[in-house]
Amino acid sequence: MSTVNRYAEKILRVSLSDKKISVKKVPFEVLRKFVGGAGVAVKILYEEIPVGTDPLSPENKLVFGTGPLTGTLAPGSGFATLCFKSPLTGVWADSRAGGEWGGALRKAGYDFLIIEGKAEKPSYIVINDDEVEIRSAEKLKEKTTSEKTKLIKEELNDDKFIVAAIGPAGENLVRFANVMVEGSRAFGRCGGGAVMGSKNLLAVAVKGTGQIPIAKPEEFRKLCKELNQKVLSVTGPEGMSEHGTTGDIASNDELGDIPTKNWRSNSWGKGKELYDHFYNKNLIGAKPCYPGCVLRCGRLAKVDSGKWKTPVHEGNEYESLSAFTFFVLNEDMDAAVHADHLCNEYGLDTISTGAVIAFAMECYEAGILGKEDADGLDLRWGNADAMIELIKKITYRDGIGNILAEGVRRASQIIGKGSEKFAIHVKGLEGPAHDPRSGKALAVNYGVGNRGMCHIHPLEGMAYDSLKNDFGLVLYGLPDPNRVDRWTEEGKGKAAKLLQDWGTVPDVAGFCKFFIYNGITPDDVANLLSALTGWEITGEDVLKIGERVFTLQRMFNVREGIRKKDDMVPERVLKIPEFGKYSSVKECEIKNYDGMLKECYEARGWDENGVPKPEKLKELELGVMDYV
């Protein structure tokens, strides 16, 4: 890389404890190595958060980050990241949200926002170009995310502010609370909302009127136009606007990719029926998360009448609807739509919420929890009324909800009585709606994932195995998926490494991951970054940046004590499903997980205990040798 241009200039730091606000430039050498987004954020947090910090203490920090592509014309550029130490897992956490918040921050003149300390009273931050202030949020307390958003815009007398807010779940320190952008787009998973709540910070409102610097504007615009056309040549002219992600409910049920009844199966046979109801009864249409997106995967939905009557709202993606149907055996799609809307309003992570409810239902079935333990609720499988009540109880930490608000790992430790085997998680993060028994590379991706059992970074493993997507990586050593059996375990650990490196890049560069499923390659990203920054960047450089960032995230975890023992997936996930279409398919069983894990470690240059070797850290120019 050359040093022709700086795309990023400023880090805005807000100290809530003493109300100090400061701005400094990002060192060029940091940009060169880590580029932006989650890359620069892990560099900051590794250096500034002491080992052993309580995630809910003032010493934890929140880093909102944008990448060089955020807020530009680049495909999928409506994305920002939020990084912190997770109160759910105790290790590295990164979230990403679509929408206009990240672009607004950049246009206000800032590429990163660091929030530290704790406000004495409930507060919110206002960023209006170069004017930054901390305001009282007393009247926002216990309001929903959409109510907070509306009240803030009214107080500021300006609808152009983009608001990221927590709901009651974040204020009550639910360990999987989200930060919601405009009440509908989530900085999800891992509990960033609880960290904000622990700081007495209820929202951050941003408005920016500036321009994002681009080194070669004509070349960049031409590239963006060409790449958007490339994406549409893969998806078709409608992009994802017809079905969004929710359309995958039917196909993934057939594929054996949806965890069912708390992971006791990977299919249910009701996917088409459930999706048909959603498509015909609930779906209104597409609503992109930011202007100009050619994929347009966002949904508008409603429930017109009945006990689950729900107003028109954004949301209802694949993960959320799967969590409130398949996870808990709920056949009432109207209830699932209502549950998703409640979670957005309360600021709850839908995946973890569905997972912890499924855990509670299995404990109830096994006799570990009775009605007296569940505040009189009948927690039988598929009871939609109980599901909705538990969402409310979790939000306000009421009764059994106070235990479930801790997440499945802590809840199982509190409840005991053998419930631990029903807690499906890795590193404390509950599993999402993709099952590695549909394609083996996903299993090792879940295990090695830096934030735990998430679907964001490792989903490429499933798409590689089952959908035969090569992500443009065959040129970089990835075996052609069309020549790889989905059930084979050999070689999947090696493939996982390259898929993880590439899967980290969108969070660094600042664009939506769906675009790497639809034609965008490392070479495309390299060309975009070169035109935007003026640097000379290759596809190989892009993948090396992904590897560097992934490895430093691992080192953040290593110094917190993470080792091979923490990279194991739950036993249930490795076994042949108990029921459903794949219950007689012996190939579903993952027989040699240790072998895949060893392959991945070796490909990454880690030792047998999952710690990056000194020579690998040196190769990646990471000066973090003290924990090796």
User: Under DSSP, is residue 185 helix (H, G, I), strand (E, B) or coil?
Assistant: strand
- The CATH number of residue 556's host domain is 1.10.599.10
Residues 409 and 444 in one domain: no
Mean pLDDT for the chain?
A: 95
The string of DSSP codes covering 24-41 is EEPPHHHHHHH-SHHHHH
CA neighbor of 415 nearest in space, from 484, 369, 383, 358: 369
Residues 177 and 136 in one domain: yes
Residue 205 structure tokens: 């409102």
Amino acid at 255: L
Checking if the pLDDT of 626 tops 60, the result is: no
Residues 253 and 198 in one domain: no
Residues 195 and 247 in one domain: no
Domain ends where: 430, 447, 468? 430
Distance CA 469, CA 402 (A): 42
Q: Name the percent of the chain lying above pLDDT 70.
A: 97
382 burial level (CB within 10 Å; 0-12, 13-18, 19+): middle
Domain total in the chain: 3
Does the pTM of the predicted model rise above 0.85?
yes
Contact (CB, 8 A) for 248 and 580: no
Distance CA 499, CA 604 (A): 12
Other CB atoms within 10 Å distance of the CB of residue 421: 12
Residues 293 and 268 in one domain: yes
Residues 6+ apart with CB under 8 A from 18: 117
Residues 112 and 27 in one domain: yes
State pLDDT tens for residues 40-84: 999 999 999 999 999 999 999 999 999 999 999 999 999 999 999
Domain ends where: 430, 453, 471? 430
Contact (CB, 8 A) for 166 and 202: yes
Residue 541, domain extent: 436-627
| pLDDT band at 624; cut points 50, 70, 90 | low
Residues 50 and 155 in one domain: yes
Distance CA 193, CA 120 (A): 18
592 burial level (CB within 10 Å; 0-12, 13-18, 19+): middle
Mean pLDDT of 190-218: 97
Mean pLDDT of 359-364: 99
Tell me whether residue 213 is in a domain. Answer: no
Distance CA 369, CA 372 (A): 8
Residues 573 and 471 in one domain: yes
Residue 517 structure tokens: 């499923």
Q: Which residue has the tokens 């090792």?
A: 444
Residue 620 structure tokens: 């990646």
Residues 513 and 620 in one domain: yes
Residues 42 and 91 in one domain: yes
Query: What is the structure's pLDDT at 2?
Result: 40
Mean pLDDT of 347-353: 99
CA neighbor of 192 nearest in space, from 318, 55, 320: 55
Distance CA 364, CA 348 (A): 23
Residues 552 and 493 in one domain: yes
Distance CA 54, CA 52 (A): 6
| Residue 314 Cα distances to 195, 284, 299, angstroms | 25, 10, 6
Residues 6+ apart with CB under 8 A from 185: 97, 98, 99, 101, 289, 314
Query: What is the structure's pLDDT at 250?
Result: 95
Amino acid at 64: F
Which has the higher per-residue pLDDT, 462 or 112?
A: 112
Q: In Å, how far from its chain's centre is CA 463?
A: 17
Q: Which residue has the tokens 């992009």?
A: 239
| pLDDT band at 484; cut points 50, 70, 90 | confident
Query: What is the structure's pLDDT at 459?
Result: 63
Which stretches of 16-146 are assigned E, i.e. beta strand? 20-25, 62-65, 79-85, 92-98, 112-116, 123-128, 131-136
Tell me whether residue 220 is in a domain. Answer: no
Domain ends where: 413, 430, 447? 430
- The CATH number of residue 75's host domain is 3.60.9.10
User: Under DSSP, is residue 178 helix (H, G, I), strand (E, B) or coil?
Assistant: coil
User: Under DSSP, is residue 128 helix (H, G, I), strand (E, B) or coil?
Assistant: strand
User: What residues are paired with 116 via a beta bridge?
Assistant: 15
| pLDDT band at 20; cut points 50, 70, 90 | very high
Tell me whether residue 2 is in a domain. Answer: no
Residues 297 and 422 in one domain: yes
Q: In Å, how far from its chain's centre is CA 619?
A: 29
